[in-house]
Structure 1
Amino acid sequence: MSTQPQNTDAALSSEFGGDPTETVTPLSKDNTFHLLQNERRRMALAYLNEQTGTVEMRDVAEQVAAWENDTTVQQLHSDERQRVYIALYQTHLPKLDDEGVIEYNQSRGLIETTPHVADLCEYIDIPQLAAEADADTTAPVETDSSTAPLGDYEFEWSDYYLGLSGLSTLTLLASSAGLIPASIIPQFAIVVLVVTAFALSAAGQAVMARIA
């Protein structure tokens, strides 16, 4: 009995949960403009447009981080790499997947492109991307859910949660030591306030991720 060769399209369909033979629906102008608003998405698209076959998500993150920091992948610092990785993982690649631009297997970190990638790249000035990444500008830009500019400091959610945790711990310790009289603020009320602060922070981050 002869063995039939594996169907490559079928294998990709099984891997990414899509049908490679289905007709690709053109993106609307609104979706096109929204997807191209963010510089990291433009860089990710530019990189993906130069690749063939299945692409490792980590490779995309490293190249985008290198462009942003005007350096090479080999010279990237871990924090530079991690900042971009988190933003792509949590926000930008899922959005491109939702819009049908890519097929993104988030759990395995694998990406398969669709013809939409080339279509979107027609609107991107590829040679200008690296220059934009390190150019100073006063024009308002869209920010990622993981970071937001604050003067000369780039806000990080990880720093925020670390600070909130420290403040909450100090407050609870002060209450336990009697430095905050229970007659003024009961310890139970402090616990409720701490839990509420974390819940509202998580909700705010989730909303920013959806908007980005």
Structure 2
Amino acid sequence: MTRDAPLRATDAHHLLSNARRCETLRVLSSRPGEPSLELRELSERVAATEAGETPAPRPLRRSVYNALHQTHLPKLDEHGFVSYDAVRKRVVVRAEARELIRYMDTLGPAGLTWGEYYRGVGIVGLCLVVAALAALPPFALVDPLLWASGVLVVFAVSTLYQLLAAPVGGRVGLFWLWLDLRELHGRLNGRR
């Protein structure tokens, strides 16, 4: 199924209310260039994350396999975020999953979103520049232009990290750019 309407926040939170569905999306989106995955491998990865060890205990792997097959993958497929072939036991992440993953866009153990992180960096940078301009003792030692330049460097490095890092923990990376280009290429070739 493809998504016709935009994703509502309540639907996103409902879909992400289960840790196994969240981890499924993380695993699928962390494989740049390989959007398709067999159910067995997916369930082993999700179970390993739950157990905190690799390989996960066999009963947990079975439980995760059954839950993904019977409940979670059909639900994600029904909403158009993955394509799940229950006969071949293969899962393909769809470009529409970006809508859902943005709700998982957290950074580190503090649980900040990238947006909150960037706002924080901006506020700290503004305070540093204002403090230097106001000639407050420790801050006045450094030129305000250097404070501003330092904050811009932090923004640039953070943005580069966000784009280049593997999309672990729900961060969106180059995988989605690749998926968009692949989809665009398919559409262009279909029109010829």
Residues 43 and 69 of structure 1: CA distance in aligned 2, closer, same or farther (over 3 Å)? same
Residue 14 of structure 2 aligns with an amino acid whose one-letter code is: H
Secondary structure of the residue that 1:60 maps to in structure 2? helix
Cα-to-partner distance string for 1:160-205 (whole Å, 9 max, x where unaligned): xxxxxxxxxxxxxxxxxxxxxxxxxxxxxxxxxxxxxxxxxxxxxx
Aligned residue-pair number: 106
Which of these residues, 65, 90, 101, is aligned with residue 47 of structure 2? 65
Residue 70 of structure 1 aligns with an amino acid whose one-letter code is: G
Which of these residues, 101, 105, 112, is aligned with residue 85 of structure 2? 105
Name whichever structure is richer in helix by fraction: 2
Q: Are 2:76 and 1:96 aligned?
A: yes
Shift of 1:126: 7.0
Shift of 1:109: 0.5
Higher relative contact order (CA 8 A, sep 6+): 2
Aligned-pair identity (%): 34
Q: Are 2:37 and 1:55 aligned?
A: yes
Structure 1 match to 2:142 = none
How far apart are the structure 1 equivalents of 2:108 and 2:42? 17
Larger gyration radius, structure 1 or structure 2: 1
How far apart are the structure 2 equivalents of 1:88 and 1:126? 26
Q: Are 2:12 and 1:32 aligned?
A: yes
Residue 46 of structure 2 aligns with an amino acid whose one-letter code is: V
Which of these residues, 33, 52, 67, is aligned with residue 87 of structure 1? 67
How far apart are the structure 2 equivalents of 1:80 and 1:36? 20
Residues 83 and 58 of structure 1: CA distance in aligned 2, closer, same or farther (over 3 Å)? same
**Structure 1: runs of 5+ lacking an equivalent:** 1-17, 129-212
TM-score by length of 1: 0.46
Aligned 8 A contact 2:12 2:103 in 1: no
**Structure 2: runs of 5+ lacking an equivalent:** 110-192
Aligned 8 A contact 1:48 1:117 in 2: no
